[in-house]
Structure 1
């Protein structure tokens, strides 16, 4: 009688292991699809962000190339003043110096428009890499506390 129970126990173990392996494969395939979707959504978001106005300002010549010698001292004075006021160096937007926080806030507003356009409602979960960080999420506590 003991011989008949032993194969039944092995059969149950084999079936259990088989079901576990099938479950792992299904889980792996599901995670791969989710990862691929996340990567594609991130790629589309990056393409959207490339059309942002602040990206165009990076293609404009540096201030020293478009400012006369007389205006250069005023430019340095404005830079120093913004640095003292905000604690962060300002950014040249192609026309004038802009406080870093304002410049970044504009980029966040544009990112929010891209989120809406692409149907992204949880960027920290739906995007990969740098764009998944809280600083790029317009609804992040970072931005709610800053205002």
Structure 2
């Protein structure tokens, strides 16, 4: 064997090992991505019980409200907005404070996390459901009053 071929052998071996490591890392990443996508799909199916999903399935408010009720609903909307700093949500039957509406959705999310054995949703899920606001253990939900007091408009 010549001197040049001896010098190239370690380079060829190093390149081969690097290629194998790169392929293994890619395969492991693809498997993790696939598991995360499947878990997110199962979580989304579970979340179909959440109030924000159910409110979309109820009759439109304009079919339920009478013109004589509009002032009462406007006053109720205004009061909730001034109290929380957030507009209330129509749950299909009545106006509900956004924080209450979302808190119930978070309880559904927590039940889904337990059912699917999700301990770290921000790492195990993808998309919107990986955000901290959907994690029942995030700082957003530790103090239920913190959200309404930090978002209350200042006078």
Structure 1 residues without counterparts, runs of 5 or longer = none
Residue equivalent to 1:58: 56
Residue equivalent to 2:79: 81
Structure 2 residues without counterparts, runs of 5 or longer = 146-155
Residue equivalent to 2:137: 139
Residue equivalent to 1:98: 96
1:9-88 equivalences in 2 (<5 Å): 9-88=7-86
Q: Report the 3-state secondary structure (helix = DSSP H, G, I; strand = E; otherwise coil) of the residue aligned with 1:94.
A: coil
Q: Give the whole-Å Cα distance in 2 for the aligned partners of 1:98 and 1:51.
A: 17
Of the structure 1 ranges 48-57 and 134-143, higher mean CA displacement relative to structure 2 is found in 48-57
Q: Is the 8 A contact 2:36 2:126 kept in 1?
A: yes
Q: Give the whole-Å Cα distance in 2 for the aligned partners of 1:7 and 1:58.
A: 71
Q: Report the 3-state secondary structure (helix = DSSP H, G, I; strand = E; otherwise coil) of the residue aligned with 2:80.
A: helix
Q: Is the 8 A contact 1:62 1:92 kept in 2?
A: no
Pick the structure with greater CA Rg.
Answer: 1
